[in-house]
Amino acid sequence: MFIIHTYTQAVILLIITMLCWGSWANTQKLASREWPFQLFYWDYVFGILLFSVVMAFTLGSIGGHGRSFLTDLRQAEGHAVISALTGGVVFNFANILLVLAIDIAGMAVAFPVGIGLALVLGVVVNYLAVPSGNPWYLFAGVFGVVVAIFLDSFAYRQVQTKDANKTFWKGLVISVLAGVAMGFFYRFVAASMSMNFENPLPGKLTPYTAMFLFSVGVFLSSFLWNTIVMYKPLSGSKTTYRAYFRKGTPRLHLIGILGGSIWGLGMLFSIIAADKASYAISYGLGQGATLVSAIWGVFIWKEFKGARNPAKIKLWLSFMFLSFVLGLTLIIIAKL
């Protein structure tokens, strides 16, 4: 299977993870103009699963390192399989809650609370499980990223209407739940894998098998989580399975599958990089995706156009980008 051999290669993969995790939501924006998020989400999770299968039988089955996908799957012990599947179920729960929080209370609440809490919890939990790297640099970097997320929320709040405050508390509670769940899903996946990918331990998983089982967990749990928000939505109108088959066009389905594949690429590269970077650093750098999504929002989607105080927004955004770059730099050098 394909693996990396240096920390520099790991950093390159994690930068790609940031780009993927910060960019997949563009496909949601494209599709949401024509049908509800819940219907887009089915194609999104299918895209994650399809991508994991393709990678398992290509990069996960070539080369002379580690175990090939099918060999690895056959020898996997039950606890490793369950751990990877659980990671997918927990992630799916968190991801749907985060989207609901954004829809109810806006990015100004959902991102600093949800992603900020997930970033801190995820790095702490993974570092305590497998300590690696300089903790001072690592947690200083995490602090920098969290500050940047809050600065982004202050700027975004300038373009919100007063009506958005009416749903603040509802969105806050959902954001906290999303953040806690998002902070723990990665640990389940990491716990399923061997720490040495070149000579993996018996019973443990390689990244490609873990990614596949994680994706199965995401897909299967969608029949619970996504069905609930389809028929009993906390925000917006309900939709049905019939609408998915009757209103969906090949273009809309492909957009969703593309979004899932982009996210899946980021996840796969994140866990491949963990061999040389550590799980805490892999997760921390991956959540720097908020910087990428902010760039899309500012420069492509013009989300801050028409704000009440453009000068103040520019100042906050400038400090946001500076804080992000500083935080991500500290996370990277934590392993040097």
pTM, to two decimals: 0.91
Taking a C-beta distance cutoff of 8 angstroms, is the pair 117, 176 a contact?
A: yes
Q: Tokens 């509670």 map to which residue?
A: 173
Q: Which of 109-113, 224-228, 295-299 has the lowest mean pLDDT?
A: 109-113
Domain boundaries, the chain: 7-333
Rounded to 5°, the CA angle 211-69-22 comes to 25
Q: Which of 43-57, 96-110, 174-188, 231-245 has the lowest mean pLDDT?
A: 96-110
Per-residue pLDDT averaged across 219-235, rounded? Answer: 93
The closest alpha carbon to 88, from 263, 228, 256, belongs to 263
- Residue 193 has phi, psi (to 5 degrees) of -105, 155
The closest alpha carbon to 300, from 40, 19, 23, belongs to 23
Question: pLDDT at position 163, please?
Answer: 54
pLDDT above 70: residue 165: no
Question: pLDDT at position 164, please?
Answer: 53
pLDDT digits (tens, 9 = 90+) for 168-185: 677 778 888 998 999 999
Taking a C-beta distance cutoff of 8 angstroms, is the pair 84, 217 a contact?
A: yes
Per-residue pLDDT averaged across 197-225, rounded? Answer: 96
pLDDT above 70: residue 162: no
Under 8 Å CB-to-CB from 214, ≥6 apart: which residues? 52, 84, 85, 87, 88, 91, 189, 267
Taking a C-beta distance cutoff of 8 angstroms, is the pair 219, 48 a contact?
A: yes
pLDDT class for 2, splitting at 50, 70, 90?
A: very high
When the pLDDT of each residue in the chain is averaged and rounded to a whole number, the result is 89
Q: Tokens 């967990």 map to which residue?
A: 217
74 burial (CB, 10 Å; 0-12 / 13-18 / 19+) is exposed
**Share of residues in the chain with pLDDT > 70 (%):** 93
Question: pLDDT at position 106, please?
Answer: 64
89 burial (CB, 10 Å; 0-12 / 13-18 / 19+) is buried
Question: pLDDT at position 108, please?
Answer: 61
Question: pLDDT at position 306, please?
Answer: 65
pLDDT digits (tens, 9 = 90+) for 31-60: 877 888 899 999 999 999 999 999 999 999
Q: Which of 38-47, 197-206, 297-306, 320-329 has the lowest mean pLDDT?
A: 297-306
pLDDT digits (tens, 9 = 90+) for 6-23: 999 999 999 999 999 988
CA distance 185 to 215: 12
The closest alpha carbon to 117, from 287, 318, 267, belongs to 287
Question: pLDDT at position 336, please?
Answer: 77
Per-residue pLDDT averaged across 299-308, rounded? Answer: 70
